[in-house]
Amino acid sequence: MDYLKYWTPVLVVALSAAGLIAGGDWMWVGIITFPVLATLDSILPRDYSVRKMSNNFLANIPIWLCCIGPVALYLVFAWSLSVHELTTWQKVGGVLSVAWMGVIPLVPAAHELYHMRNPIARTVGRYGHLCILDCTRDIGHVVGHHIDVATPDDGDTAARGKDLYSFTWGAFIESTKYAMNMEANALRKKGKSPWHYSHRAWRALLALGAFHVVIFLIGGWEANVCALAGQTIARFWVESFNYFQHYGVIRLKGAPIGRRHLWNHLGWFSRTCGFEITNHADHHLNSYQVYYKLVPHKEAIPMPSVFVCFLSALIPPLWHEVIIKPALKRWDLEFATKEERVLAAEQNRKAGWPDWQNEQPEIVGKAATVGV
């Protein structure tokens, strides 16, 4: 039964493809799955179950389908534009549908593939990110984020007080710069120019160009414009999801990473459609662990559905006052070490937030006693 759960996102991609093929107002089917999944994920109880899966081949089938499928959706979309008489409204539905499929489930599926030791899987994972204009994303993620998470050096960890909009734009710029610089520095160490033809950015651009040539041959310039719109929306949407999984947590540079340094979103659909990417703590403790062996952290501060977090963050005061401040207050008082509380208090001060640590004169954080 656990294997079947992860076919949920495959079904979502299939429904999106059917909508694009049907044309007309059916072009909206893909994006309509967003509010449907958000509602279901919010009303169902949290899912703390440990998966009983052992067959790696069966477990990986939906991963591959959900990485390749959304890429293929762009070709289906181009075909639909060429054969259907679509209104602007219907074309917008198609753009949003392929964009959403490029976020969920493509990014979690690609993420799983490029964390594997299999070079073919890593390559497919990287180039699946054609859908988000970022085929070098794994460089910054694996080399930078997994080392620097919850420190000021991590571009995916939002400082307290930062709103979703400024974070997303900044993450878009910083993640791109970081990957380019890391690759250039690696080439310098080999005695090559930072602009050497082996720089992965050139391969990424070549892949993107080839992808758009195919789209043009199928659907013409209109298909290229619509595809680029979907890819751009998806890229910013993906950057915004990092906001919720790392917001405001504190770790000293060089200190060990603990489960407390990540937020988990353990809704049934968050876990299945995200291939456990929202079951985030264990992933950061062992980045090579396969998704179905990640264990939910029951002792962590419970967070709402990742969909609820996204929608609330669109209204920053709602996100800050209703969701994240209460969670961070508890994190500071119960989970942070003494040194982390000092840094947390400074971030709270800069953000203009209450000094809740001084409301509790004697604080004994759980981090020091239970090793979370």
- pLDDT tens across 150-171, in order? 898 888 899 999 999 999 998 8
**pLDDT surpassing 60 at residue 368:** no
Q: What is the pLDDT of residue 365?
A: 52
- What is the rounded distance in angstroms from the CA atom of residue 60 to the CA atom of residue 158? 32
pTM of the complete model: 0.92
Q: What is the pLDDT of residue 153?
A: 87
**pLDDT surpassing 80 at residue 372:** no
The residues near 206 (Cβ < 8 Å, ≥ 6 apart) are none
**pLDDT surpassing 90 at residue 330:** yes
Q: What is the pLDDT of residue 360?
A: 59
Overall average pLDDT of the 68-80 stretch: 98
**pLDDT surpassing 60 at residue 16:** yes
Percent of the chain whose predicted confidence (pLDDT) is above 90: 77
Burial class (CB in 10 A: 0-12, 13-18, 19+), 298: exposed
Half-sphere exposure of 123 (CA within 13 A, CB side): 5
CA distances from 170 to 45, 158, 164, 234, 364 (A): 34, 10, 10, 16, 35
**pLDDT surpassing 50 at residue 24:** yes
Structure-token match 């690759």, residue found: 183
82 vs 283, residue with greater confidence? 82
CA dihedral sign of residues 160, 161, 164, 165: negative
